[in-house]
Amino acid sequence: TMRCFTVAALALLAPCGLSMSIGTRRTALARGIAFGGVTLAAPPALAEPEFTTTESGLKFYDKTVPSDGAIPKPGQTVQMHYEGWLADFDDLESKFDSSYERRKPLSFAVGTGRVIAGWDEAILTAGGGMRIGTTRQIIVPAKLGYGAKGAGGIIPPDATLYFTMKLLSIAP
C-alpha cells in the first residue's frame, strides 16, 4: 500500500514542474524523499527468500510448487519458460535472455547435457526435482554455468547466473 501511494505521489509531482528520470524515481522510492514539505516514506522492505544450497553450490528457491505435478526423468523433453540475469533477479540492466519476451518456451531433453549443468540439476534433483507448474529461482555458480570461458560475448567468464524458470510440460 505504501509503495502504491509513493508511486502515485511521485507521478503527481511531474505536472507541478518537477520532472524525474525513472532512476531518480526509484531512488526516491527506496530512500524516502521530501518534496515541498511532504516526506514520502520508503516502502517497507520485502523479506528475502531463503535459498537452499546444494552440494554442488547451486542455490534454489521455489516461488510456487503444485502438490500434484509430475517430475521429469532424465531424457524426457521438458518445456520451460525462463528469464536470466547477470547481476540479480529482475535487474533490468543485466537481463541477458527471456523466453517470455520471445513468447516461445524452451524445449530440450533434460539431463542430457543440452543445457548448462545448473539447469539439469535444478530441474532433476534440487529439492527432489521440479514438478510441472513449479516456478523456481536459481543462482548458478560459474562452474555449473559457462565457467571460465563465458558464452557468446554475452556471458562473461566466471559469471554467476540468476534464473527464474517455470516448468510447463513434460513429454516422453
- Catalytic option among 116, 123, 138, 170: 116
The one catalytic residue among 60, 139, 163, 170: 163
Q: Is 97 a catalytic residue?
A: yes
Q: Coil, strand or helix: which one is 126? A: helix
88 labelled catalytic: no
Q: Which of 33, 120, 139, 146 is catalytic?
A: 146
Please give the sequence-ordered ranges of beta strands (E in DSSP) within the chain, or none if there are none.
Answer: 33-35, 38-40, 52-53, 59-64, 77-85, 95-98, 106-109, 135-140, 161-171
DSSP one-letter code for 39: E
Residue 100 appears among annotated catalytic residues = no
Cell of 41: 516514506
The secondary structure of residue 94, as a DSSP letter, is: T
- Active-site choice (97, 108, 132, 158): 97
Distance CA 85, CA 120 (A): 18
The catalytic residue positions are 82, 96-97, 116, 146, 163
